[in-house]
Amino acid sequence: MSLLTLPNARELTKSVRATVLVFKDPASQELLNRIERLAPSEANALVMGETGTGKELVARHIHNLSRRAHGPFVAVNCGAFAETLVESELFGHEKGAFTGATSSKAGWFEAANGGTLFLDEIGDLPLNMQVKLLRVLQEREVVRLGSRTPIPIDVRLVAATNVNLADAVIAGHFREDLFYRLHVANINLPPLRDRKGDILPLAEFFLGEHCRRLGYTPASLSADAERKLLAHSWPGNIRELENAIHHALLVCRNRQVQPGDLNLVELRLVAARQDLPLQSARPTDLQTALQALFEQNGPDLYERIEEQVFRSAYRFCHGNQLQTARLLGISRNIVRARLEKIGELEAPSRSPTVRLA
């Protein structure tokens, strides 16, 4: 059984990222085989998968198996950029390029020179930045903000997304030419529920890891707990599994995890009642509510329904644009644009999160 872990996994107990991948399930073994075949090439790679499935781990493995393994691996979360700072963060800036630019600064492309740049949540890049990213990939050079001098770069790009970029292209929120530029070496990372053969090996790994971290004597899973783990749908994927094991170790007795110790939650989308009667996520109730609206035959029906979906999802996520995008399975750019259109407040900007290997 092959196993991958993040280099600083023990420091990431509050992260939403997966910190370990195992390859025991046949689907995972096929995935590993594909990674090992694609990694030695210099082709840009696109890793697609739900949150918590281990996309950064895959990107790091691609880097480690390539000729760039001795170069830097730079991981950047595009969803954490303030929109006004995206260009500066990616491509760098010169002194005086904008208010607050008191000195010149290299961007993350320059930081990754000779190695691999991992752009997570690539679908959250604004369209104007997508154009500039495409040019960088084509020309193999960057121009810092406030400069006219191109700087040659030697970087392999690995991008990742938890949304369907093909749908984003159709919706006009992601550039088609950039999509095909990234889609050269594509890797689909299955959710944990579709690779059940990995669940128990992962659970055993987390049991050992958290016992060591907590200073506990070794613990085990009961047969009933194993069955419960295998039956769960794992909407939060590997990270949810790790959290479940961590919780179970804190409450279990006699160093054996029982089903009641796991505290698993099945998430279901419940539409909040607002202007439209979308009162339940159950198909029959939703169909009844839509039927009633159709019979009213009011104006701009599609716009009203779509608006209500966005408002309800946004409030369900307590005003978090990124979580709303994940809940609806679309890009944060789409969410942001729609919320602006319907008059909802924008989420506060955040500083970018960057990790250097």
Return the CATH number at 294: 1.10.10.60
Most confidently modeled range among 90-104, 130-144, 272-286, 297-311: 130-144
Asked if residue 171 and residue 36 are part of one domain, the reply reads yes
What does the pLDDT read at residue 68?
Answer: 94
Query: From CA 96, how far away is CA 104, in angstroms rounded?
Result: 8
- 35, 28 contact by CB (below 8 A): no
What does the pLDDT read at residue 11?
Answer: 47
| Domain C-terminal end among 261, 294, 315 | 261
61 part of a folded domain: yes
Q: Where are the beta strands (DSSP E) in the chain?
A: 2-5, 20-23, 45-48, 73-77, 116-120, 141-143, 150-152, 156-161, 185-188, 220-221, 256-257, 354-356
Q: How many domains is the chain built from?
A: 3
348 DSSP 8-state letter: P
- 48, 190 contact by CB (below 8 A): no
269 part of a folded domain: no
Q: Which carries the bigger pLDDT value, residue 342 or residue 192? A: 192
Asked if residue 43 and residue 23 are part of one domain, the reply reads yes
What does the pLDDT read at residue 59?
Answer: 95
Mean pLDDT of 76-95: 86
| Domain C-terminal end among 192, 214, 248 | 192
152 DSSP 8-state letter: E
3-class state of residue 102 by DSSP: coil
Q: Which carries the bigger pLDDT value, residue 64 or residue 348? A: 64
Asked if residue 257 and residue 335 are part of one domain, the reply reads no
60 part of a folded domain: yes
Mean pLDDT of 43-72: 93
Residue type, 199: I
Cα 347 to Cα 76, 95, 218, 274, 344: the distances in Å are 20, 29, 44, 21, 9
What does the pLDDT read at residue 271?
Answer: 35
Cα 41 to Cα 61, 93, 179, 241: the distances in Å are 13, 31, 19, 33
Read off the pLDDT band of 8 (50, 70, 90): low
Asked if residue 205 and residue 151 are part of one domain, the reply reads no
Asked if residue 233 and residue 98 are part of one domain, the reply reads no
Query: From CA 142, how far away is CA 151, in angstroms rounded?
Result: 5
Asked if residue 169 and residue 21 are part of one domain, the reply reads yes
What does the pLDDT read at residue 2?
Answer: 67
Cα dihedral sign for 65, 187, 2, 191? positive
110 part of a folded domain: yes
287 part of a folded domain: yes
270 part of a folded domain: no
* Helix-, strand-, coil-residue percentages of the chain, each rounded to 5: 45, 15, 40
Residue type, 233: S
What does the pLDDT read at residue 170?
Answer: 86
What does the pLDDT read at residue 98?
Answer: 86
Asked if residue 159 and residue 39 are part of one domain, the reply reads yes
Asked if residue 256 and residue 214 are part of one domain, the reply reads yes
- 48, 331 contact by CB (below 8 A): no
159 part of a folded domain: yes
Asked if residue 161 and residue 33 are part of one domain, the reply reads yes
| Closest of 286, 274, 277 to residue 344, by C-alpha | 274
Mean pLDDT of 102-127: 92
What is the 3 state secondary structure string of 274-332?
CCCCCCCCCHHHHHHHHHHHHHHCCCCHHHHHHHHHHHHHHHHCCCCHHHHHHHHCCCH
* pLDDT above 70 for 6: no
**Which residue segment(s) compose the domain that 79 sits in?**
2-192
Return the CATH number at 210: 1.10.8.60
Q: What token pair was written down for 246?
A: 């961590």
| Domain C-terminal end among 140, 158, 192 | 192
β-strand pairing of 45-48 with 220-221: unpaired
At 185-228, the pLDDT tens digits run 999 999 999 999 999 999 999 999 999 988 999 999 999 999 99
Query: From CA 180, how far away is CA 162, in angstroms rounded?
Result: 17
Read off the pLDDT band of 63 (50, 70, 90): very high
Angle at 99 between CA 97 and CA 104, to 5 degrees: 40
Asked if residue 211 and residue 185 are part of one domain, the reply reads no
What does the pLDDT read at residue 279?
Answer: 40
Asked if residue 103 and residue 81 are part of one domain, the reply reads yes
Return the CATH number at 46: 3.40.50.300
266 part of a folded domain: no
Asked if residue 120 and residue 42 are part of one domain, the reply reads yes
* Cα 193–chain centre separation: 17
